Amino acid sequence: MDTKWLEDFITLAETRSFSRAAELRNVTQPAFSRRIQALEAWLGSALVDRTTYPTRLTPAGDVFRAEALSMLAHLSETRTLLRGQEQVDAEAVSIAMPHTLSLGLFPRWVKELERGIGRLSTKVTALNVHDAAMSLVDGGCDLAMVYHHASQPVQLDPSRFDMLRIGVESIYPYARCDDQGRPEYELPGTPGQLIPFLAYAPNAYLKRMVDFILAGMATKPLLQTRCETDMAEGLKAMLLEGHGLAFLPENAVRREVGQKLLACAGHEYSMQMEIRIYCECRKTTKEKVKIIWQHLSEASEHLSP
């Protein structure tokens, strides 16, 4: 969740007008409406009654208004405290990315990057794909590293943001290994037997990727959802305890597969996503960001098409 959504909501609650609130927040009304909808989707509850005019809050919106004010006040106090205690490294490169990339790909990626440009100071913010992209749009980071697939594209204005493809990520179904090193569950499964399924929450980007894979399966498995979370690491922990089957990015389980703790539960039930990195190169003033982008651009030119 972006704290700007909270500020948007408070402004709307005070003005009771989408157009006036959008004007005060210095965004277009369609963009403002999308941000309110994103907040509602994140909360899983309607905050605004759109059947009346002037606009009014739902009962849930009235409750959340007080909580939003409290959260913003607490965040402001905490930021002031931390800024007084810690000197911020102005040259540190801030990068927003999904949790899975921050744990799986990023440590190896930044090590390889440092071989080309030297030591690098970074600030990594782990978010979902949507929020990582929005962080770059709102100026909250220098770079955004995200997944991309044609069925669920990340759409950032190409006239404003530069983009490079820096790799690919495959997603497969996995399950815990049995005594013979085979997965305890395999797709499509045995007819008439439910497979305990560890699923992503509806707001997770990888949920849409899994839905895409399952929709393309000729034989539909009978899956019984046992757990739901937006964190791939949470699903992996459940897998290791033998709770069922889950789809995970290959980089997230590379070590566990190598140690024969987890095994692929169906190689044909997979898909490949691009890993992209975005930067507002025309606006950045950080020399290190420019060096990184130049290095990545040169490296991408040498990749095979």
Kindly report, residue by residue over 216-260, the tens digit of the pLDDT: 888 788 899 999 988 888 999 999 999 999 999 998 999 999 999
HSE at residue 149, side-chain half, CA atoms within 13 A, is 20
> Do 136 and 230 form a contact (C-beta atoms < 8 A)?
no
Check residue 53 and give its pLDDT.
Answer: 67
Check residue 231 and give its pLDDT.
Answer: 86
Count the helix, strand and coil residues of the chain and give each as a percent rounded to the nearest 5.
45, 25, 35
Which tokens sit at 231? 């964190």
Pairing, β 143-148 against β 195-200: unpaired
**The CATH number of the domain covering residues in 3-85:** 1.10.10.10
Residue among 171, 147, 175, 269 nearest 213 (CA): 269
Check residue 81 and give its pLDDT.
Answer: 64
DSSP annotation of 26 reads T
HSE at residue 137, side-chain half, CA atoms within 13 A, is 17
Check residue 304 and give its pLDDT.
Answer: 43
Determine the distance from the C-alpha atom of residue 132 to the mean position of all C-alpha atoms in its chain, rounded to a whole number: 6
Looking at domain 93-168+274-301, its CATH superfamily turns out to be Periplasmic binding protein-like II (3.40.190.10)
The predicted model scores a pTM of: 0.67
Pairing, β 245-249 against β 162-176: antiparallel
Q: Which residues make beta-bridge pairs with 97?
A: 126
Check residue 305 and give its pLDDT.
Answer: 41
Check residue 26 and give its pLDDT.
Answer: 85
HSE at residue 48, side-chain half, CA atoms within 13 A, is 24
Angle between helices 59-85 and 3-15 (to 10 degrees): 130
> Could you tell me where in the chain the CATH 1.10.10.10 domains are found?
3-85
> Could you tell me where in the chain the CATH 3.40.190.10 domains are found?
93-168+274-301, 169-273
**Residue ranges of the chain with per-residue pLDDT less than 50:** 86-88, 304-305
Query: What distance in Å separates the CA atoms of residue 129 and residue 247, rounded to the nearest whole number?
Result: 17
Query: What distance in Å separates the CA atoms of residue 166 and residue 174, rounded to the nearest whole number?
Result: 25
Residue appearing with tokens 């005060």: 24
Query: What distance in Å separates the CA atoms of residue 132 and residue 202, rounded to the nearest whole number?
Result: 17
For 169-273, give the CATH class: alpha beta
Could you tell me the CA-to-CA distances from 151 to 79, 248, 271, 273, 287 in Å, in that order?
38, 18, 11, 10, 35
Cβ neighbours of residue 168 closer than 8 Å, sequence gap 6 or more? 272, 273, 274, 275
Check residue 1 and give its pLDDT.
Answer: 67
